[in-house]
Structure 1
Amino acid sequence: MELIIMSKEIKEYGKEFTGAFKNVKYKDYKFKKNNKKPVFLESISQFKNLLNLKDGMTFSFHHHLRNGDYVLNMIMEYIHSLKIKDITIASSSFFPCHETIIKMMEDGTVKTLHGDYFSGPVAEAVSKGKCKQPVVITTHGGRPREIMENELPIDIAFIATPSVDKDGNGTGSQGPSNCGVLGYAIADSIMAKKVVLITDNIVSEINQKEIEFYNVDYVLKVDKIGDPKGIVSGTTQITKDPVGIKIAQKCAKVIENSGYYKEGFNFQTGAGGVSLAVAKELKEIMKRTGVKGGFASGGITDYLVEMLEEGYFKKLYDVQCFTVGATESIVKNKNHIKMTANEYANINNKNNIANKLDFVILGASEVDLNFNVNVTTGSDGVIIGGSGGHADTAAGAKVSIIVSKLVNSRRSVIVDRVRTISTPGETIDIIVTDRGIAINPKRTDLIENLSKIKSLDIVNIEELYRRAINLTGKPKKRKISDEVVAISKYRDGTILDLIYKV
């Protein structure tokens, strides 16, 4: 398998918006299939004849219910019972709840997987070579780009939909399985050859229409599409760890003195404990300086909802709700705005939100001496996640910041070379750790602005690496096989790296 070498500075390339859809907005992509309303079904068994199910098809799913999703397993168990083979599952992400598909990978029902994030038993199975073909790990913006440009053709999109009205329109923000937003499923609903909404709540009218009836072929009502409590999977609380708080305080000071902190700045942070602590520390700076933000974006947590309600940001752009509080806010607050994955981070949508960010706060499993970041594999080579929006926002933001302890579990976050490139170093600007801060040498403006603040302890990345190795020693290189089990792809489709069997 050939590895495509990147020859351009991706941060600049990411702002050129090349591609088929560079001059159109998302609303112009809506391809009306017909004027007929979808057919409402009574049983999953009706799929066999209506959908012309056969070997080699590609089925898509979304992950807004996160670790509470029931639909992917429900559909694939049915497919398994029909003895259909060589299926590609194109889900926006895979969580521990999807463990049941491992047996289908082993017996040939599933040929390969395509997603933005892999965790739990499915990720481990992929790492052990259980899939017949290498899986594809792309970004949150890369997936809608591939779907909209037909690089990822979808035969049938099975969309978990918390509420569907009598006409067949769907929403994520109503009903017992409310997940807030359906942003990752919209491209699927537009481009798939067949679209099936799976719901546990049919109503006469919905409050925020996200999927249009004319893009839907069938609606199936089931007892339950998922457990909304599973949305809250992962850290969604501000860290209380003194070291994490110290990192957050340093990061907030970096933002304030970067030269880009000004009225109307746009901001995104992840849902991790340290990342949320950065938002808390930044709020105190905003209170002191009187500066108000334009928007905050991404996966939304309760803390960002509070900042919106208190007036620190004018708007929230939400592609995924991380908390129940966020699902409630998006219904009642007009300035808490739903967005699709295409609007969030598709490189070929010139209005994408990721490219309007001033600051993004990100985590890392590893960062190397060239600022490349790994959030996909652990030190043992096992898949632990994926880019998600990491690479998209790092490329789009004016200032991309990695926050991490320098040494965690006796391992240095700085390595000579990352195991897997998830986000290319050209797009990473600053690394903030508890034992020093490194700035990408290409960002001379940031170096000039931040070097004036002596308390920040600005050093080059080689010095950060030296400090870490003095504490941990230099780790031995682990041997890897030559069998490729996954491909790490960039938002524009470039192959960033290959992941090998463990």
Structure 2
Amino acid sequence: MLNSLKREVLERPYEGAFKNQKFMEYECSKDKSRKPNFGKSLDEIIDSIELKDGMTLSFHHHLRNGDYILTEVMKRIAKKGVKNLKIAATSIFPCHDILVELMEKEIVTKIYASYYSGPVAKAISEGKCKEICTVSTHGGRPRAIMEGEIVIDYAFIAAPSVDDMGNISGSEGKSACGSLGYAVADAYMAKNVIAITDNRVKKLEKIDIEGYTVDEVVEVESIGDSKGIVSGTTMITKDPVGLKIARDTKVLIENSGLFKDGFSFQTGAGGISLAVADEVKKLMIEKNIKGSFASGGITGYIVDMLEEGLFEELWDVQCFDLKAVESIKKNPNHRKMSANTYANINNKENIASKLDIVILGASEIDLNYNVNVTTGSDGVILGGSGGHADTAAGAKLSIIVSKLVNARIGCIKDEVLTVSTPGDTIDILVTDRGVAVNPKHKELIENLKEKTNLNILTIEELKEIQDSYTGKARKFEKSDKVVAVSEYRDGTSLDLIYKI
């Protein structure tokens, strides 16, 4: 019922993640029996490393807004007199606001990340970073690192537990965060890897990162506050409008031709997305449908679906709440995966490409189905693609769920301010006022009109309804200064982000 018109034009030949030339060179250079060094304090480590202007330092975000490590490391590095450092962080949260001052002093002059929020996002939008920053996808980041496009000099890994061989786990310790999937490429490919932990043990059973990749282990009092993992909406919406969108999405999924035993599924942690998951759960029970897997960043709600036998397994790149952290520790069917396994376009086994259905949000969508989840209507960076573009391209059916009008602002634009996900990878928009199906899916449109009571409209018709409530949106005036690039999963540039 769904055709295969996805973003094939950008699909590169499979080069083989963990089999490309850069990685093979790395593999040959490492002694897999070696152990890292132990015993130095964080101050001693920073004093001992050979910092030079222009180096690239990496960090991961699995502790999200509870992370202490980026701040503690950069506070010390800032005293060393180096300039023009590049930060390759997996994501940036409000707790990383030290970077604003470091950008203003030109100690840090470029940031690579898949998601930006808080003061750092605002500062970049205001042009406070000397160089153009990059907003990548979660799959694009490991691809770039493993293929040598981003070369990391020092990777600082916040490690919830480290054993005597230097092996790292995210599942153990007081700062447990579950999966460490975003830090794996850094550990394999960085020139120097420093694990910073607040829990050293004799031997780990579940290993995220092998000790032979680690050069130094530093023990500190605390690497962060795991409660900061829950730094967004992780509850089902109670808003009647959001619940209607979820019910309509359920009807759509049931009639998509994909809802059958063995289907795979991913949804975000937003209120409407979780409401969709709840409706899908009820439908699975009603129709006695068992799914193969759910994937992505995992919430406790998806954990419940695993424990109730609705899915055979979960593939988890990051835990979105503490229930997911506990589940991944004890349930063998709750599997950890690296970002490479999750969504690297050049890894032919990537999980994103095996998805049947993905539920995604949008701050804006345009008449060509391009989606913006990177900037707000005022041009300020408010997030980033994360896995949005990866899963939209990989899944057989990518569904955007959004209120048509929210706080007097319509979601449909003539053109989005920033393209985060290209429109040829988006299949359906579900709003409270109607459903728009990408016109490439003619058979699906006919089937939904015939078999359901959904209000199937063109996206142009939906926009007319929206504009009757909001009026015509005025065109956003961009400045001349580019502050960041919205980068697609294969490394091509989708759009430019301008100074506000």
TM-score (norm 2): 0.96
Q: Give the partner amino acid of 2:278.
A: K
In the alignment, which residue of structure 1 is the partner of 2:416? 418
Give the C-alpha shift of residue 496 in structure 1: 0.1
**Aligned runs of 1:47-196 on 2, under 5 Å?**
47-48=45-46, 50-196=48-194
Q: Give the partner amino acid of 1:452.
A: E
In the alignment, which residue of structure 2 is the partner of 1:319? 317
The yes-or-no answer on 1:21 pairing with 2:16 is: yes
Q: Give the partner amino acid of 2:457.
A: V
Give the C-alpha shift of residue 210 in structure 1: 1.2
**CA contact under 8 A between 2:139 and 2:390: conserved in structure 1?**
yes
In the alignment, which residue of structure 1 is the partner of 2:481? 483
**CA contact under 8 A between 2:263 and 2:290: conserved in structure 1?**
yes
Q: Give the partner amino acid of 2:7.
A: K
- What is the CA–CA distance in structure 2 between the aligned matches of 1:53 and 1:396, rounded to whole Å? 40
In the alignment, which residue of structure 1 is the partner of 2:391? 393
Give the C-alpha shift of residue 51 in structure 1: 2.0
Alignment match of 2:252 (pick from 244, 250, 254): 254
Q: Give the partner amino acid of 2:165.
A: D
- What is the CA–CA distance in structure 1 between the aligned matches of 2:374 and 2:199, rounded to whole Å? 36
Give the C-alpha shift of residue 232 in structure 1: 0.5
Label 1:130 to 1:19 Cα distance change in 2 as closer, same or farther (>3 A): farther
The number of residues matched between the two structures is: 492
The yes-or-no answer on 1:213 pairing with 2:208 is: no
- What is the CA–CA distance in structure 1 between the aligned matches of 2:185 and 2:474, rounded to whole Å? 44
In the alignment, which residue of structure 2 is the partner of 1:6? none
Which region of structure 1 is more displaced relative to structure 2, 445-454 or 127-136? 445-454
**CA contact under 8 A between 2:17 and 2:146: conserved in structure 1?**
no
Say which SS state the counterpart of residue 438 (structure 1) adopts: strand
In the alignment, which residue of structure 2 is the partner of 1:229? 227
- What is the CA–CA distance in structure 2 between the aligned matches of 1:80 and 1:22, rounded to whole Å? 35
Give the C-alpha shift of residue 454 in structure 1: 4.3
Q: Give the partner amino acid of 1:271.
A: A
The yes-or-no answer on 1:427 pairing with 2:425 is: yes
In the alignment, which residue of structure 1 is the partner of 2:335? 337
**Aligned runs of 1:300-311 on 2, under 5 Å?**
300-311=298-309
- What is the CA–CA distance in structure 2 between the aligned matches of 1:338 and 1:153, rounded to whole Å? 25
- What is the CA–CA distance in structure 2 between the aligned matches of 1:270 and 1:455, rounded to whole Å? 26
Give the C-alpha shift of residue 46 in structure 1: 2.2
Alignment match of 1:373 (pick from 371, 374, 384): 371
Say which SS state the counterpart of residue 7 (structure 2) adopts: helix
- What is the CA–CA distance in structure 1 between the aligned matches of 2:360 and 2:189, rounded to whole Å? 31
**CA contact under 8 A between 1:24 and 1:349: conserved in structure 2?**
no
Give the C-alpha shift of residue 445 in structure 1: 2.9
- What is the CA–CA distance in structure 2 between the aligned matches of 1:120 and 1:49, rounded to whole Å? 30
Q: Deviations over 1:255-281 (max 9, x none)?
A: 000111111000000000000000100
Label 1:443 to 1:423 Cα distance change in 2 as closer, same or farther (>3 A): same
Say which SS state the counterpart of residue 145 (structure 1) adopts: helix
- What is the CA–CA distance in structure 1 between the aligned matches of 2:161 and 2:137, rounded to whole Å? 27
**CA contact under 8 A between 1:295 and 1:313: conserved in structure 2?**
yes
In the alignment, which residue of structure 2 is the partner of 1:286? 284
Alignment match of 1:267 (pick from 265, 277, 299): 265
- What is the CA–CA distance in structure 2 between the aligned matches of 1:55 and 1:10, rounded to whole Å? 42
Alignment match of 1:12 (pick from 8, 11, 23): 8
- What is the CA–CA distance in structure 2 between the aligned matches of 1:451 and 1:110, rounded to whole Å? 54
Give the C-alpha shift of residue 19 in structure 1: 4.6
Say which SS state the counterpart of residue 211 (structure 1) adopts: coil
Say which SS state the counterpart of residue 367 (structure 1) adopts: strand
- What is the CA–CA distance in structure 1 between the aligned matches of 2:416 and 2:175, rounded to whole Å? 39
Gap runs ≥5 in structure 1:
1-8
The yes-or-no answer on 1:241 pairing with 2:233 is: no
Which region of structure 1 is more displaced relative to structure 2, 221-230 or 45-54? 45-54
**CA contact under 8 A between 1:179 and 1:231: conserved in structure 2?**
yes
In the alignment, which residue of structure 2 is the partner of 1:5? none
- What is the CA–CA distance in structure 2 between the aligned matches of 1:448 and 1:479, rounded to whole Å? 40
In the alignment, which residue of structure 1 is the partner of 2:349? 351
In the alignment, which residue of structure 2 is the partner of 1:446? 444
Q: Give the partner amino acid of 1:127.
A: S
Gap runs ≥5 in structure 2:
none
The runs of at least 4 aligned residues of structure 1 exceeding 3 Å deviation read 22-25
Q: Deviations over 1:79-100 (max 9, x none)?
A: 1011211100000000000011
Q: Deviations over 1:450-495 (max 9, x none)?
A: 1223421000000011000011000111222110000000000010
The yes-or-no answer on 1:455 pairing with 2:453 is: yes
Alignment match of 1:33 (pick from 30, 35, 39): 30
Q: Give the partner amino acid of 2:390.
A: D
Which region of structure 1 is more displaced relative to structure 2, 342-351 or 451-460? 451-460
Which region of structure 1 is more displaced relative to structure 2, 482-491 or 203-212? 203-212
Say which SS state the counterpart of residue 335 (structure 2) adopts: strand
- What is the CA–CA distance in structure 1 between the aligned matches of 2:39 and 2:479, rounded to whole Å? 48
Say which SS state the counterpart of residue 393 (structure 2) adopts: helix
Give the C-alpha shift of residue 448 in structure 1: 2.5
**CA contact under 8 A between 2:370 and 2:426: conserved in structure 1?**
yes
**CA contact under 8 A between 2:251 and 2:452: conserved in structure 1?**
no
- What is the CA–CA distance in structure 1 between the aligned matches of 2:88 and 2:268, rounded to whole Å? 24
C-alpha RMSD of the superposition: 1.6
**CA contact under 8 A between 1:88 and 1:110: conserved in structure 2?**
yes
Q: Give the partner amino acid of 2:263.
A: F
**CA contact under 8 A between 1:21 and 1:348: conserved in structure 2?**
yes
- What is the CA–CA distance in structure 2 between the aligned matches of 1:187 and 1:41, rounded to whole Å? 25
- What is the CA–CA distance in structure 1 between the aligned matches of 2:6 and 2:99, rounded to whole Å? 35
Q: Deviations over 1:31-89 (max 9, x none)?
A: 26223210013312323453211111000000000000000011111110112111000
- What is the CA–CA distance in structure 2 between the aligned matches of 1:261 and 1:135, rounded to whole Å? 40
**CA contact under 8 A between 2:234 and 2:269: conserved in structure 1?**
yes
